[in-house]
Structure 1
Amino acid sequence: MSPQPDDGRKLFVLVGTCISFGLQYMLLRSPEFRRAYRLKAYRTHRHQQFMADLAIPDEELVQADVIAFHPPGWADWGNEEAYRSLLRSIPAHVRRISYPYPIFPALWPFHCHDTRNEDAAHEPTPELLPPHYPYGDSWILSKLRKNMSADQILREYLDLDIPSITDVDGLLRKSLEIQQTKEDSTTVKILDFVQENFRTEKTFITMNHVGNFALLHMTNQILNILDIKRLDQTILHTVSELIQFEMPIHPSIIRHFGLRHVGPETRYAIDRFKRQTIQEYVEDYIHFR
């Protein structure tokens, strides 16, 4: 038996990437979970500070009753061996719950890294922060490199029929196949749920961030494992998206997959302040402002 904390509750340690905040929030919305467990979270999305972010004290590992974590291979840790070493250090008495870090590139097939994020010369945003676009678009960047005007890029981009130039169905199949081999050994499952619901519900808000609808599904699996009552879906009506921020979906992708939870005029939470349609977002992205 693991040692109990002073207040009599067991220790639940949550290790993961940025999506783990959503699980943390939803787990702590369960009164029964809060009565049974105190939660300690360790998360990282900064490869160079990997071990600092996930430096779990040995005494906590010994005290823990449950540790939830991404299995190796689900995320790019920047130091895979250090992460495997961390998991090997979990004592045998600790209950392990592994959960995925899924991706869904089919809705954002042009995703890429935009090197303009490293350019400090851009004019600050109204919040006096450097503009930052973590989800680049390879099609737009290719047109910028050809010195096409911003107006023409915007017009041609919005008129694109992406599925006619990119095999988004093949991208969907391949990404799910690759992830399926990882999920086979993962306690918490998500891929079948996503395939069944992505057309009608916001299962993903960016290519690597699940939405609240998928987070609730993952959370309820953890609660089931702990023999705790599931959270009701009404929680989805009481909170904004827990993992920030959202990426607009191209109208041709919406049409191709028959998405019913978004449309061409949908406003997306781009950052803490902006709620933009895809046209407004793309215009700002082209100008990197």
Structure 2
Amino acid sequence: MKHTMSRKLCIIHANCQGDPLRKLLMLHPQFGQEFEIVKYTNYLCEDIPDVQLQQCSLFLYQPLGEKWDDHASAALLARVNPAAVTAAIPNMLFKGYWPFWTNKSPIEFGDIFLDRLVDMGLEKKEILYICMHTDIAAKHDLAGLFEDSARREREKEQGCVVHTVDLILDLFRSEKLFNTINHPNRRLVLQVTEGVLAHLGFAPLPDVLTGAFQDPYPEFELPLHPQVAAFHQLPFGSASTLYNVFGKPRTYEEYAGLYVDCRALGIRDLSSYLHLV
């Protein structure tokens, strides 16, 4: 991929959160004139050509550790143009709404609570009854899980040029800040974008842009367990709340039933399954 020589090259190495960041930076009057922006998806291990790293003037990255080998941040920074400005940006992940989320599940959007019930060999109706009627707060340290997650996210943001954890902790009750564990709402994406611009010495985004910017991930709202919502005294997330599940309104219980069905079918790609049913 060649970049326009009249503009400097900015590389963003990030997950899906890099897409709305790129869009907003491109629309910024001064930044968009000064930089061409190329985004590489970090978790897909997309290779960044050496020529681009050598031509790069600005490298924005979500920190990745050594386990990512050639795609680890340290490895990429060693290859970046030494004259380039480099800046770490947050990789936002919030388990406060979904304390049982796990990436160690046989299914996408893994849920430890549901997985345990499925793995016990119970029938679907039994799983849903236990899921909805067990006193979750009595059996799980929801406060401790929340504090552990917040501490982990604060550690991850050390060294980043903009922080989000304090804002999240201030507002997570009054405003639904995430649609899934790593799909933040417009406020948080704007927080990161404005922080990057300020760090680099640019003016804020014009009001017309911030006003027009919509939530970047509207297609899927991961439902909240109503007992978790009640524990955190959220004004959203009741048992009757309808969530946008790829264009279909679903309650948490309906979603949980589809999760169980997907597990029973041995399908890992829950997103594709939810699109179909």
Instruction: With the length of structure 1 as denominator, give the TM-score of the two structures.
Output: 0.78
Q: Determine the structure 2 residue equivalent to 1:13.
A: 11
Point out where structure 1 has 5 or more consecutive residues left out of the alignment.
118-133
Change (3 A) 1:194 1:36: same
Q: Determine the structure 2 residue equivalent to 1:270.
A: 245
Q: Determine the structure 2 residue equivalent to 1:253.
A: 228
Do the aligned partners of 2:161 and 2:199 also contact (CA within 8 Å) in 1? Answer: no
**SS of aligned partner of 1:253:** helix
CA distance in 1 between counterparts of 2:96 and 2:182 reads 11
CA distance in 2 between counterparts of 1:193 and 1:175 reads 15
Do the aligned partners of 1:202 and 1:213 also contact (CA within 8 Å) in 2? Answer: no
**SS of aligned partner of 1:199:** coil
Match of 1:57 among 49, 59, 62: 49
Match of 2:168 among 183, 194, 201: 194
**SS of aligned partner of 1:105:** coil
Q: Determine the structure 2 residue equivalent to 1:100.
A: 90
Q: Determine the structure 2 residue equivalent to 1:152.
A: 126
Q: Determine the structure 2 residue equivalent to 1:79.
A: 68
> How far has the Cα of 1:26 moved from its partner?
2.7
CA displacement, residues 25-57 of structure 1 (integer Å, 9 cap, x when unaligned): 3323434432232111111333xxx2xx1x222
Change (3 A) 1:188 1:267: same
* Paired residues, number: 258
Q: Determine the structure 1 residue equivalent to 2:268.
A: none
> How far has the Cα of 1:236 moved from its partner?
6.6
> How far has the Cα of 1:180 moved from its partner?
2.2
CA distance in 1 between counterparts of 2:24 and 2:219 reads 15
Deviates further, 234-243 or 22-31:
234-243
Residue correspondence of structure 1 range 31-180 to structure 2 within 5 A: 31-46=29-44, 50=45, 53=46, 55-73=47-65, 78-80=67-69, 82-83=71-72, 84-112=74-102, 113-115=104-106, 117=107, 134-180=108-154
CA displacement, residues 47-104 of structure 1 (integer Å, 9 cap, x when unaligned): xxx2xx1x2223322322211001234xxx8524542211211122111121121322
Do the aligned partners of 1:27 and 1:33 also contact (CA within 8 Å) in 2? Answer: yes
Change (3 A) 1:242 1:231: farther
Change (3 A) 1:265 1:235: farther
Q: Which amino acid aligns with 2:221?
A: E
**SS of aligned partner of 1:45:** helix
CA distance in 2 between counterparts of 1:265 and 1:26 reads 35
Calculate percent identity across the aligned residue pairs.
24
Instruction: With the length of structure 2 as denominator, give the TM-score of the two structures.
Output: 0.81
CA distance in 2 between counterparts of 1:232 and 1:145 reads 51
Change (3 A) 1:278 1:210: same
CA displacement, residues 207-238 of structure 1 (integer Å, 9 cap, x when unaligned): 23323321111111112223132354974765
CA distance in 2 between counterparts of 1:136 and 1:82 reads 25
Do the aligned partners of 1:19 and 1:243 also contact (CA within 8 Å) in 2? Answer: no
> How far has the Cα of 1:185 moved from its partner?
1.4
CA distance in 2 between counterparts of 1:231 and 1:237 reads 10
> How far has the Cα of 1:250 moved from its partner?
0.8
- Greater relative contact order, per chain length (Cα 8 Å cut-off, separation 6+): 1
Q: Which amino acid aligns with 1:114?
A: S
Q: Does residue 239 of the first structure (1) align with residue 214 of the second (2)? A: yes
